[in-house]
Amino acid sequence: MTIAIDAMGGDLFPKNPVLGAIKAVNEKNISVILVGDEPAIKKELDGLRFNSQKVEIVHTTQIVDMDEPVASALRSKRNSSMRVCYNLHKSGDAEGVVSAGNSGAMLAIGRFVLKTIPGIDRPCISALLPSLKSNKVLLVDAGANMDCTPEHLLQFAILGDVYMENIHSVKEPRIGLLNVGAEEGKGDELSKGAYDLIKSSSLNFLGNIEGKEFFNGDIDIVVTDGFAGNVLLKSVQGAANFVSNALKQEIKKSLLAKIGAVLMMPAFKGLKKRTNYAEFGGAPLLGLKGNGIVCHGSSNPEALLFGINFAEWAAQAKLVERMEEKILEYNDILIKKQA
C-alpha cells in the first residue's frame, strides 16, 4: 500500500508531514511518496532510520498557501505538491492522498483530478467527534458546501453511512439531521426538504437532532450543510477552549485549586486523550473517486500518521467502490427529485 503525502502542507512543513510519513513507514505496512521540494525533504529525512525501499520522493516546486483562494490554487498551481499527490493517486502510483494543507484546495483539486463518484454532485468534508459513550460521531458536511439542496444532504448521508459502516464497523449507522428542534416540520426550507427525502430512503434515519445532543452518543452520523456543519464544528472548538481557558483563569485565583489541578492531572489527561485532535484531526473527503484525507494545519506527526491510517483503511475497504454500489440504490430517489 502506497500513500502520497503532501510534504509541503500544514503549518510546519516539510518537517511534520515527513515525520508522520516515516512513522507510517516504520509502524505500518505502508510505503510513502513524499511530494514537495526534494532538498528540503531530504534534509528532514537526514538522520532518520527507515527502510529506504518504502520511501520515494517526487520533486515539485509549487506550494498551495494555507489561505490561498481555491481558484488560484486550481488554475495557477498545476505543479503544486497537492496537485501532484492527486495525479499520483489518479495514475495508480498511490492509493491515497494525505495533506495538512488548505482544505478548500484539497477538495477542489481532488474533485478536478479524481472527479466525483457518479450520483454525487458535491463531495463533502467529514469530521469525527467524540461522544460520552464509546462511539464516535461523524459530521457531514463539516464545511465544504454552501447553499445545499435536500438532495445534497441525502448524498452526504449516504456517503457517511458507507464510511461509518466500512471504516468504523458501525452496522446500520444511526443518522440524525441537524436542526433547531426535534419535531418533524422544524427548521428552514432545506431542513424540511432533507427530512422528507432522507426519511423516504432506506437509511437508518432517526429524525432531527439538536446541537446539544450531538455528544450524547445516541447517534452515529449528523447530516447538515457545510455552513451549519462548520458553525457547529468551530463553535464546539470555541466552547471547549472557553471552558479550558476560563477554568485556568479561575484556578489561578486559588492556591487550593492550583494543588487540586495538579492532583487532577490524570483526569485532565484522560479528557485530553478522548478529545485528541491528532486522532480526530484527519478529515476524509467523501464522494471523490479516490481516497483524499485532509488534516488540520497544526497537525503534529502523530496526527499525520492518523491521516495516513485513514487513507490506508479507505483504500483497503475499497470505500469508493462501496459508495458507488450504495449510491446506485438511491438513483431513483435522487434522479426523480432532481428532475
H or E stretch at 90: helix 81-90
Which residue, 57 or 285, has its beta carbon nearer to a second copy? 285
Quote the least distance from Cβ 264 to a second copy, whole Å: 3
Residue 314 buriedness (CB in 10 A; 0-12 / 13-18 / 19+):
buried
Establish if 208 lies at the interface with a second copy (CB under 8 A).
no
Kind and range of the H or E run holding 223: strand 221-223
**Contact call for residue 71 and a second copy (CB under 8 A):** no
Q: Name which position in 35, 64, 232, 315 contacts a second copy (CB under 8 A).
A: 232
Rule CB under 8 A: which of 116-155 touch a second copy? 130-132, 143, 146-147
> Total residues contacting a second copy (rule CB under 8 A)?
64
Query: What distance in Å separates the CA atoms of residue 172 and residue 220, rounded to the nearest whole number?
Result: 9
| Grid-cell match 509502524, residue found | 27
d(CA 96, CA 90): 9
Residue from 99, 102, 191, 291 that binds a second copy (CB under 8 A)?
191
Pairing of strands 205-209, 137-140: unpaired
DSSP string, 248-281: HHHHTT-HHHHHHHHHTHHHHHHHHHHT-HHHH-
Distances (CA, A) of 280 to 51, 122, 136, 137, 293: 28, 23, 10, 10, 12
DSSP H helices, 168-225, are: 189-199
* Binding piece for a second copy, criterion CB under 8 A, among 26-34, 75-83, 234-242, 317-325: 234-242
Nearer to a second copy, 195 or 330 (CB): 195
Closest approach of a second copy to the CB of residue 176, in Å? 12
* Cell numbers standing for residue 200: 423516504
Among 72, 270, 318, 331, binds a second copy (CB under 8 A): 270
Binding piece for a second copy, criterion CB under 8 A, among 25-33, 208-216, 313-321, 329-337:
208-216
Q: For residues 272 and 318, which CB has a smaller minimum distance to a second copy in the complex? A: 272
Q: Which of 51, 200, 202, 237 binds a second copy (CB under 8 A)?
A: 237
Per CB under 8 A, residues contacting a second copy are 67, 130-132, 143, 146-147, 178, 180, 183, 187-189, 191, 210-215, 224-228, 230-247, 249-251, 253-254, 256-257, 259-268, 270-271, 274-275
